[in-house]
Amino acid sequence: MTASSQPTGQRYAPLDMLARLVAFDTVSHKSNLDLIAFVEDYLAGWGVTSVRIPNASGDKAALFATIGPQDRGGVLLSGHTDVVPVEGQAWSRDPFTLHVADGRAYGRGAVDMKGFIALALALVPDFLAADLKTPIHLFFSYDEEVTCLGVVDGIARMGQDLPRPRAVIVGEPTSLDLADAHKGIRTFFTTITGVAAHSSKPHLGASAVHAGTRLAAGLVAMADEREGRLDPSGRFDPPYDTVHVGKFHGGIARNILADRCDLSWEVRTLPGSDPDDVPARFKTLSDEVLGRMRKTAPSATIETVMSSDVPGLAPDPGSEAETLVMRLAGRNSTIAVAYATEAGHFQRAGLPTIVCGPGSIDQAHQPDEFITLEQFAAGEAFMRRLLAECRG
């Protein structure tokens, strides 16, 4: 994580760097290692040592690097390298080839969020030349689009064998507004195993679909309750916790008691809400439903697994991150966003964190995803103001 005095790396214009990053197909179910290797080599060419932080299976990795002094915490620029799928979307051109036209740069990840990463990387030579007094840390993760867990191992090492940042900027697209709040999200899979029997004799088995219906109805009732518990700040849309059953599948025929039923569901909670409330109530309901099933089918089971746990981001007025980013972005107020990010993990670890990046979330996850060249240029100006702050 040190920089040599005579760097020999290749310099990229910001758009050229974005083109290089977009060309890597890093859809979340695929490996991101080719992109990570490119970034490692690029940084090494400029004398910057990076630390690879692999996942358990070794097919993905996060990357951490520091530019500037190594003996103190600085400003961390955080971005995720994975992107959402393109299958089933009507793209006008190859989604993994950057196309610039009509004041826009098109490509999967152009706005969410390889644009932010490209700006940070393209300015590495300028960061190095500035003789920074406050270090700039780069932290690029994986799996944000599916679990938001790709930052967790790296965060755990900050203050141990990695520097602990003073402020974190998560560069999700906010049009360079400051997002200091978003909901948390937990996702769950529930599998119900019953016993098949002829529908004319339900006492000889236990219907997993009937059990699933009772559980789904319980979740819907909890969702309805929360619509009456409004967030007084008025910053969120909708202004309450949400509970949603996204998938329900079970059964093979009308006249057979289903021996299996699967539910996929989620809970999105406002900052300050108890994220354990709905799961705890669901567990109580599951025990009641299972007890009913086992009266006729002792082997029946209900198993629920939490597949992701993304903490919310709570406002932290006056934090070092908020104060710094207000200066960099030229803003004097903050916003809340509807989507979840990795920011909550940083805040949970006690790190002052703000979400702020170029481009609009409205263009994310869409066919012909794009970032406007105006926003991309504004993002570069943001980075250069950060350089000036860290040089002083």
- What is the DSSP track for 38-106? HHHHHHHHTT--EEEEE-TTSS-EEEEEEES-SSS--EEEEEE--B---TT---SS-TTS-EEETTEEE
What is the predicted pLDDT for the residue at 6?
56
Beta bridge partners of 309: 186
What is the predicted pLDDT for the residue at 318?
96
User: Long-range contact list for 385-388, CB < 8 A, 24+ apart?
Assistant: 385/327, 385/328, 386/75, 386/136, 386/328, 387/123, 387/126, 387/127, 387/130, 387/132, 387/136
Q: Which residue has the tokens 């009937």?
A: 210
Query: 314: exposed, middle or buried (C-beta count within 10 Å: 0-12, 13-18, 19+)?
Result: middle
Closest CA to 17 of 122, 132, 163: 122
CB 167 within 8 A of CB 343: no
Beta bridge partners of 242: 268
Q: Which domains does the chain have, with CATH numbers?
A: 14-182+313-391 (3.40.630.10), 184-310 (3.30.70.360)
Closest CA to 17 of 385, 280, 376, 389: 376
| Strand bridging mode 104-106 / 99-101 | antiparallel
Q: What is the mean pLDDT of each run of 10 residues along the chain (392 residues)?
A: 59 98 98 98 97 98 97 96 97 98 98 98 97 97 96 97 97 98 97 98 97 98 96 91 97 98 97 95 98 98 96 96 98 94 97 98 97 98 98 84
Rounded to whole angstroms, the Cα distance separating 255 from 205 reads 13
What residue type is assigned to position 388 of the chain? A
- pTM for the model stands at 0.90
Number of C-beta neighbours around residue 218 at 10 A: 20
